[in-house]
Amino acid sequence: MALYLTRFSYTPETWARLIENPEDRRAAASSYIESVGGKLHGFWYAFGEHDGWNLWEAPDNVSMAAVVLAIGAGGALRSCETTVLISVEELMTALGKAKSVKYRPPGA
């Protein structure tokens, strides 16, 4: 299974609802990813450009995309970015395959 890092920001309305009715969103996030056969590995809030960060594991890109689309369609987020993470072993394989790619720079 692949790992995914999401960075998200809530809307002002979502923050207002959470202030009025504080809620630990980890259980909800776990249920979303588990519904596609994945697992939530971490959920953090942060200061800065993004309000929160999640580390997920999902069976494939389509499953992760389904979760992100469903969450995004709910209207609670101002922004959401997802990055597919690859292991060191996967990078080593990619580096080996890169040797066989015959890249030509633009205009060369």
Tens digit of each residue's pLDDT (9 = 90 or more) over 11-70: 999 999 999 999 999 999 999 999 999 999 999 999 999 999 999 999 999 999 999 999
pLDDT tops 90 at residue 105: yes
Comparing C-alpha atoms, which of 43, 38, 32, 39 is closest to residue 6?
43
- Distance set, CA 4 to CA 53, 54, 57, 105, 107 (Å): 10, 8, 6, 31, 36
Q: What is the mean pLDDT of residues 73-86?
A: 96
The amino acid that residue 32 corresponds to is Y
Q: What is the pLDDT of residue 108?
A: 86
The H or E element that residue 80 is part of is strand 77-85
Q: What is the mean pLDDT of residues 79-106?
A: 95
Q: Is the pTM of this model over 0.75?
A: yes
